[in-house]
Structure 1
């Protein structure tokens, strides 16, 4: 034990030494009490090692004795500014004295949460493309939101989204943002210095917006990390400044940021409109009579020869434009630097603006002017109108959802950040949870009047057969072929007779062929699958010279977009399996099977392995998360029955093997995952395995569970190479039992797996995996061979028999009446004749 303690102590020292030095800059201006509270929290409350912190306080020439008190504060380096340099200049002065590889900026009227620094540094360490980390900022009591995301209006004004709302955890997913708030921001020192730091001409306000904007333009990402929390007394430093001075700075700085950072085409349309809008905003806010100088004003009206009273809020807008004009020569030089260094277009950054056409002020005269300027000067042409996108699934949508519905839901959510999106299910079982986009059940017969609304339609599964008019429509179709259904049917149909089985595979293969013939863009789950679909495209004649010459890589037609997971790590929201399943205790070692029990899986070997291990480890428990599919139309497969029977025969049901006969709601599954010690997925060695993408494995990544998987699929390769767990041969209960024992009882090995999972997990967030779809929908185009003048593709592949053409009509019944067995039953007589004909060589 002492040797183990020494090893752990040495590792902790090494880990601490590997952490970057973080220089924290706090600017004080006549707020010494707040500043001292902030500095003391930095010294005493953080879990980041104190010897890896470099705390710098800049006093902005307060002149009130602040400097003397701050100089006496231990563990803080005081830098005295020669004059009030504002927030921007004060921060830059502090950076001149900083020694750290990471710079952190914290408002003097804020205090950090314990993991404020460690959470942000972890993001920078995990991803070199991230140049800055924006922290989550709450009010002083931690109840309301100050900053969780930011938007940018087309005229250069930044704004906070969700500010003042109750912090209910709904904004706790990490994401890319255009900018972070200067009240809590971490930046790589090399990046900050390369950009010249904050623009000191701004003095205060929008210097953080401008920095993030420039960072994104140069190809760096700004990442919001909700675990890096600070608490802020909002605008305590501005409590003595009237709102006209603040409005002046905001108006002037918005124009300056706009001028520096947008492309020439954007500037030509946006700047004249922004200047005019600044004037209208000023007169509207001051309720100034806009017609008081009209020549037609009657002499019996007010005296027009004397001075005119002008509200300070109106004067602020006028002077902002005046000072912007004064700044133009120096801004021109800055613009040349930024435009030469840009790596991303204005269009690329449009999603990070959130809502570029945000009007952001309520006055009626202002709103009228905004809309008139946008339309007349063509501002909306530059920033683009939102596209109308319809995501269609045939799966049931409810609180309990399976893979296809989950994928469609997340597509709608990610695309909805940029476009107008509707999620439609053709399945009558539709009781959706609350969503930020419309979710509707529409019967296939009623869809004909709905689909013309969409510019782009994203579909999956059998939807194209259920809505056959889409095959000849001019709309852009994205076909999601992440599920090789025909390979699943080779396994699932084993219980059918030869004719029935052949027919089902024929039908599903043709369903997929029709999608590959018609689609403008395709998504698959892995590089392995991409090879499969490239072969299929070639076999049906879709890989034409026209397509190939347009893009020899064919990635503009067929992209890899695997299943994803939430960017927010799994957090407990309620009781899990240990509380809900009788027979599983707090100290037991739990193996979780997270998903349904289907014919192409091998849960039998897993049950045998647990039976072997229980004689050696009496606390091992295996739990099946869901035995009954959430879609009532999907019948239970025979493999589920076999698994129950085996566990009963071995007499381990309720003692070492447990079956959840229902289905855990999608938004509660994390509580079951977090109660487990490892996740497992086992399957047979066959062609379905080769091209499968086991979505349940992503839940294991999400919850940080070490993974045990059978060899042969794409995830097995990743588990092996990334050190996420163990890979075992197919149908080998001894090897599987040994793997379970190592993962469950070798704590050092399990800890290494968890650390590796934390890194890999970031690659599978929904916003990452759906990036190809997002990129396509920004500028959707028909596939090269479907554009004007190109020969139209046939809807069905050459050589498909007339019988199979007619059989496609059975797909609706297949979906609605219970699967392949039901299709086969309804057509069994004719299918037997079809097989006999084939056997005779006809």
Structure 2
């Protein structure tokens, strides 16, 4: 344990019911054997109205907060009562017939402090002698029965690796106190058995992790509290509570299939366990003597337990229905998300022949293989036009949907009025703002960009259960600084504030963020820090923060560009097959500098009359995006220099996305030029990727992340901004120096493999395989250790530390100066 670090206070709750000797042994071990600061430890003992003199002995035990229950509340109710008297930031539950290892508390607390997304720690539990396993992992069947995997096996060291589990055993379990109270603790209707399964299930559904920590060890006399109870009563609780747990926690869709099958299986389990002849009441088996036929039929207690459990489950349904509403409203993870934690959900669990036959029949009849493997539902929303002619945001959304559809059930939705998409293997649709709500309700994970979050206000709510991925590859506010130049100053200022707020709302809400480059990642980390998202919980969960924000650049098709038809050379009037074509592969926007490029071409044509500059798209495919001023200025300059239609050409529409390779492959080089400003610094020029895809040597202005790549990998030439002389020379080199151009193409062929869609989208794919809320968005997230008044001892320790610090910093003079200053402050206070 680190010296000088304030450890969280821990309240250990122990429930006693007619087991005072075991309980005293447990309490004394907690008081004397733990390697944890005694002043940070509270022992709470609840007596469940034992009525055998236990209360008198336990209440006299030193160092224990004793609580007398008014009745036998069971393990669940007893623990909850103890929590009402607990003061710790961490709650620990230990069976009264268990004892802790010296590191039991310290190891669990270390896990909670180091991993802020862990809501509970499941201890490693061994038998009393420490040889056999009691708990190292939990499993859950589709019919709601939890079980301890590997129980009874030797502890051979193969379970000494920490891992996430669905639940921990209540016999040795740690939970964040704030979180436990937020969930209203254990469900007291369970009385005992599966209340720990239910708690762990609810934690996981809310996005919290339950972590098995093998260094936190306890030793347990298994079921000492049930040793004098008939097994049929245990069966009753197990059967009833399993149905209650699955009813509360399964989704509507899964429950509709699983619940009737589970109830039917419970009946078969009961009859098989009691070896009851289930055909004895068939009419063909009635005896000739009617009096004999009216005699009572003996039902074994093991069978009666299952039948009564169903009856009492029905009795609980009204109150369970209210709990179900709360659980389903709070969940952020799907049933499919938790399948791996269930371990073997289709495990029959009981080796009874008639039962096994029923299990197989019910699984087949109700199609239970499907709901326990339902694909995750991912919704990708864009505000851009989805059509044959698509701009960057739509292209990006399209490939996200296409890639994710390989593993998940995916919908791609556009809020743009123009939506006539090409054929796809996943549903693509247009939606009104109001219609988005139905799509959002359907989805487990929502990937959005642009202004979409503003269209679904319910998603902004901090308690929204939906997992939201925000694609912030486009720093819109930086673009707007340039785009709105020359317009109304007041409107420009308001627009920049408005777009900044749009982005801030995404940054406040998102669970995972996508950006396009390392530069952007640093930029957005600054944004996130400024709005308070880089909390200790987020940092401690992942100091790299890559689980919060990841680089996902624009991508390329895995297959290199293949020509299907000519598009420019020999097709566009004024451009012959022998001409050297410079391709401007995208829109002409205010943050670009096509003017310097036109001047450079004017210089170059004096030496090479066969040079041609071709702008692939002057009009944005999204009708809501107006022509920008720079486009008109570029046309005017080309006309004034006598280049329009002879050396400079404009495609006034937009090249269809599926045909763009033909236009690119008719080029001899690709070019992108821009001004020196902040938009350039953090921009990601997607057109450059198309140049890579087509194998075109690249000429680019310095200042953005692609300029760094082109310079480092020697993929073309990087020039200073607004320098027509250098730009003309660079174009001449890539167009007319064949050896240099061929070398560029060879290196481009290697580099473009890094930018295929399947490669660049890997962080998004990985996140969607196990989506969770960001650490600071978990319900009841917050610091584990509260700030407390120092008290006399604490103040003394602090002052001694300050004395050492001042002496080290400046000797006695510094100490005297600081002390005088403190005296003045105290007298003024």
Normalization by structure 1: what TM-score?
Answer: 0.50
Partner of 1:723: 714
Partner of 2:499: 508
Which of 459, 464, 473 matches 1:470? 459
Which of 644, 647, 666 matches 1:653? 644
Give yes or no for contact 2:387–2:422 (8 Å, CA) kept in 1. yes
SS in structure 2 at match of 1:601: coil
SS in structure 2 at match of 1:556: coil
Which of 546, 550, 559 matches 1:568? 559
Partner of 1:628: 619
Give the distance between the partners of 2:365 and 2:379, measured in 1 at CA.
26
For the pair 1:404 / 2:404, whether they are aligned, the reply is: no
Give the distance between the partners of 2:361 and 2:678, measured in 1 at CA.
58
Q: Deviations over 1:416-437 (max 9, x none)?
A: 0000000000011100110000
Give the distance between the partners of 2:389 and 2:361, measured in 1 at CA.
43
1:580 CA displacement: 2.9
Give the distance between the partners of 2:360 and 2:670, measured in 1 at CA.
55
Partner of 2:126: none
1:373 CA displacement: 5.5
1:749 CA displacement: 0.3
SS in structure 1 at match of 2:485: helix
Give yes or no for contact 2:473–2:515 (8 Å, CA) kept in 1. yes
Partner of 1:755: 746
Q: 1:552 to 1:615 in 2, by over 3 A?
A: same
Give the distance between the partners of 2:440 and 2:613, measured in 1 at CA.
46
Partner of 2:541: 550
Q: 1:455 to 1:370 in 2, by over 3 A?
A: farther
Q: Deviations over 1:521-553 (max 9, x none)?
A: 000000000000000000011111111111111
Give yes or no for contact 1:374–1:380 (8 Å, CA) kept in 2. no
Give the distance between the partners of 1:656 and 1:604, measured in 2 at CA.
14
Give the distance between the partners of 2:367 and 2:575, measured in 1 at CA.
67
Residues 40-439 of structure 1: matches in 2 within 5 Å?
384-439=373-428
Give the distance between the partners of 1:484 and 1:522, measured in 2 at CA.
13
Q: Deviations over 1:742-771 (max 9, x none)?
A: 000000100000000000000000011000
Partner of 1:77: none
Q: 1:544 to 1:573 in 2, by over 3 A?
A: same
Give the distance between the partners of 2:360 and 2:496, measured in 1 at CA.
58
Give the distance between the partners of 1:787 and 1:553, measured in 2 at CA.
19
Which of 611, 623, 629 matches 1:638? 629
Partner of 1:589: 580
1:412 CA displacement: 0.3
Residues 9-48 of structure 1: matches in 2 within 5 Å?
none
Q: Deviations over 1:332-363 (max 9, x none)?
A: xxxxxxxxxxxxxxx99x9xxxxxx9xxxxxx
SS in structure 2 at match of 1:389: strand
Q: Deviations over 1:643-673 (max 9, x none)?
A: 0000000011111000001111000010000
Give the distance between the partners of 2:675 and 2:762, measured in 1 at CA.
32
Larger radius of gyration: 2
Which of 678, 684, 688 matches 1:697? 688
Give the distance between the partners of 2:492 and 2:734, measured in 1 at CA.
40
Q: Deviations over 1:116-164 (max 9, x none)?
A: xxxxxxxxxxxxxxxxxxxxxxxxxxxxxxxxxxxxxxxxxxxxxxxxx
Which of 651, 661, 666 matches 1:670? 661
1:786 CA displacement: 1.1
Partner of 1:29: none
Q: 1:644 to 1:784 in 2, by over 3 A?
A: same
1:374 CA displacement: 7.4
Q: 1:381 to 1:619 in 2, by over 3 A?
A: same
Give the distance between the partners of 1:631 and 1:381, measured in 2 at CA.
40
Partner of 1:611: 602
Partner of 2:780: 789
Give the distance between the partners of 1:371 and 1:601, measured in 2 at CA.
67
SS in structure 2 at match of 1:744: helix
Give the distance between the partners of 2:591 and 2:395, measured in 1 at CA.
21
Give the distance between the partners of 1:618 and 1:784, measured in 2 at CA.
61
1:443 CA displacement: 0.4
Partner of 2:448: 459
1:734 CA displacement: 0.3
SS in structure 1 at match of 2:411: strand
Q: 1:371 to 1:491 in 2, by over 3 A?
A: farther
Q: Deviations over 1:562-584 (max 9, x none)?
A: 01111111001122111431000
Give yes or no for contact 2:379–2:439 (8 Å, CA) kept in 1. no
Give the distance between the partners of 1:671 and 1:764, measured in 2 at CA.
20
Give the distance between the partners of 1:370 and 1:605, measured in 2 at CA.
74
How many pairs are equivalent?
Answer: 432
Give the distance between the partners of 1:752 and 1:369, measured in 2 at CA.
66
1:513 CA displacement: 0.4
SS in structure 1 at match of 2:670: strand
SS in structure 2 at match of 1:680: strand
Give the distance between the partners of 2:560 and 2:503, measured in 1 at CA.
35
Give the distance between the partners of 2:743 and 2:604, measured in 1 at CA.
23
Which structure 1 residue ranges, 5 or more long, are not aligned?
1-346, 351-356, 358-367, 793-842
SS in structure 1 at match of 2:469: strand
Q: Deviations over 1:604-647 (max 9, x none)?
A: 00000000000000100000001011111111000000000000
SS in structure 1 at match of 2:401: helix
SS in structure 1 at match of 2:454: helix
1:784 CA displacement: 0.6
For the pair 1:710 / 2:696, whether they are aligned, the reply is: no
Q: Deviations over 1:707-734 (max 9, x none)?
A: 0000000000000010100000000000
Give the distance between the partners of 2:701 and 2:777, measured in 1 at CA.
42
Give the distance between the partners of 1:603 and 1:405, measured in 2 at CA.
24
Which of 510, 523, 527 matches 1:536? 527
Q: Deviations over 1:787-814 (max 9, x none)?
A: 121269xxxxxxxxxxxxxxxxxxxxxx
Give the distance between the partners of 1:377 and 1:455, measured in 2 at CA.
22
Give yes or no for contact 2:580–2:668 (8 Å, CA) kept in 1. yes
Q: 1:588 to 1:390 in 2, by over 3 A?
A: same
1:555 CA displacement: 0.5
1:476 CA displacement: 0.3
1:498 CA displacement: 2.1
Q: Deviations over 1:90-128 (max 9, x none)?
A: xxxxxxxxxxxxxxxxxxxxxxxxxxxxxxxxxxxxxxx
Q: Deviations over 1:237-278 (max 9, x none)?
A: xxxxxxxxxxxxxxxxxxxxxxxxxxxxxxxxxxxxxxxxxx
Give the distance between the partners of 1:539 and 1:465, measured in 2 at CA.
21
Partner of 2:675: 684
Give yes or no for contact 2:478–2:679 (8 Å, CA) kept in 1. yes
Residues 740-819 of structure 1: matches in 2 within 5 Å?
740-790=731-781
Give yes or no for contact 2:611–2:647 (8 Å, CA) kept in 1. yes
Partner of 1:490: 481
Which of 707, 717, 729 matches 1:738? 729
1:449 CA displacement: 2.5
Partner of 1:320: none
